Amino acid sequence: MNRIFSGVQPTGNLHLGNYLGAIRNWVDLQDDYDCIFCIVDLHALTLPQDPEELRTHTREVTAAYLASGIDPEKCIIFNQSSVPGHSELAWLFACITPLGWLNRMTQFKEKAGKHRENAGLGLYAYPVLMAADILLYKATHVPVGEDQKQHLELSRDIAGAFNRQFETEYFPLPEPQILGEAARVMSLRDGSNKMSKSDPSDYSRINMTDDADTIALKVRRARTDPEPLPETVEGLEGRPEAANLIGIYASLSRTSRAEVLATFGGKMFSEFKDALATLAVETLGPIGGEMQRLLAEPGHVDGVLHRGSERAGEIARHHLSEIHRIVGLLRP
Ligand code: AMP
Ligand code: TRP
């Protein structure tokens, strides 16, 4: 059976982009694949984190998976650091990854900023650890938002480099699954920036834990342009804020942008925003409520992670012993 691996960093402020670009797609895929969903806490450490908040956010992402409908009986849900094999395979991959490949990574350039010399080695090696996450389980499919496309191409390159170097076909080349009308949700304040956990303005994003009033207020305050909505998808060209809101509506209602414009084309933003706010509250409201309920009893969430890390660890240990044999490491 084909296997899925994907993950979210426990860095707080889980938002509508994480939900529509990633988590909701996982819910849809869980019946057709053998699924492993990770909370990638080691990736979070590539930028400074407060220890207590890191623990809280790890439980929060787990609660978001469960509240969104990921079934821990069907899928493995665990946190990355609880399976030591991720770090180990990342080292083996670090030894076969040319610096030139890493130098192309745009996310490193964005996150390192101007003072690249001060950026940590972990931030630089981030995509190597990501390749290890996926390939430790020999996953064949990786559902992610569009921003992870380049990292996934690198994972494929690393799998290929390993297979060539050791003359094997051990690792599959994992396929990205970038799905739906909201694979890249943009900021509500600026249609040319991605919606992101780290944007200083809370009005730039809809958080998965926002209450109904907050969601409605954020939608109403979202930036727009003065024209009425266009009748066709082509009419969204050069109107990034309109394109973003229409894409969000299409994704939430599981239709296409063309269908949304068939209803709202020619109308003013105010009317459309009322409908969008209602739809967003209907979708996210119950999930946020369920997250709060789960977080009030962390014992349950921790139990899910514990069981998940046992199941993940078993697969990881089995694969790592094969990988050791392939590369020539002795297990006396
Ligand atoms: P991160 O928050 O960086 O850990 O991302 C977790 C998942 O959410 C990844 O699959 C990302 O591609 C996806 N994601 C993050 N931000 C967005 C966004 N603005 N639009 C769509 N998907 C996103
Ligand atoms: N880098 C991904 C992100 O920020 C998170 C991630 C880490 C991931 N390891 C992964 C996603 C493996 C898919 C598969 O969104």
Q: Check residue 332 and give its pLDDT.
A: 86
Q: Where are the beta strands (DSSP E) in the chain?
A: 3-8, 34-39, 76-79, 141-143, 175-177
What is the best residue among 147, 194, 207 to mutate for testing ligand 1's pocket, by most ligand atoms within 8 Å of CB?
147
The CATH code of the domain that includes 247 is 1.10.240.10
Are 318 and 171 contained in the same domain?
yes
Please report whether residue 193 resides in a domain. no
Are 123 and 99 contained in the same domain?
yes
Q: Which ligand sits closest to the CA of 37?
A: 2
Residue-wise pLDDT for 215-233, tens only, equals 999 999 999 999 999 999 9
Are 131 and 246 contained in the same domain?
no
Report the interhelical angle of 212-221 vs 269-295 (nearest 10°).
150
Are 168 and 210 contained in the same domain?
no
With residue 317 as reference, give the H or E element that holds it. Answer: helix 298-327
The CATH code of the domain that includes 178 is 3.40.50.620
Q: Look up the domain containing 306 and give its range.
A: 3-183+298-327
Whose CA is closest to atom 5 on ligand 1? 8
pLDDT over 80 (residue 1): no
Please report whether residue 190 resides in a domain. no
pLDDT band, residue 88 (cuts 50/70/90): very high
Please report whether residue 38 resides in a domain. yes
Residue-wise pLDDT for 50-62, tens only, equals 999 999 999 999 9
Q: Percent of the chain having pLDDT more than 70?
A: 100
Are 118 and 227 contained in the same domain?
no
Are 288 and 304 contained in the same domain?
no
Domain count, the chain: 2
Are 176 and 206 contained in the same domain?
no
Q: From the CA atom positions of the chain, what is the Rg in Å?
A: 21
Please report whether residue 194 resides in a domain. no
Residue-wise pLDDT for 127-140, tens only, equals 999 999 999 999 99
Q: Pick 332 or 303 by higher pLDDT.
A: 303
CA of 7 to the centre of ligand 2 (A): 5
Distance CA 117, CA 112 (A): 9
Q: Check residue 86 and give its pLDDT.
A: 98
Are 48 and 154 contained in the same domain?
yes
Q: What is the pTM of this model?
A: 0.97
Are 222 and 143 contained in the same domain?
no
Are 94 and 118 contained in the same domain?
yes
Residue-wise pLDDT for 269-309, tens only, equals 999 999 999 999 999 999 999 999 999 999 999 999 999 99
Distance CA 144, CA 179 (A): 8
Please report whether residue 232 resides in a domain. yes
Please report whether residue 237 resides in a domain. yes
CA of 39 to the centre of ligand 2 (A): 9
21 lines ligand 1 (CB under 6 A): yes
Average pLDDT score over residue span 241-247: 98
184 lines ligand 1 (CB under 6 A): yes
Please report whether residue 35 resides in a domain. yes
- Burial of 211: CB neighbours in 10 Å, binned 0-12, 13-18, 19+: middle
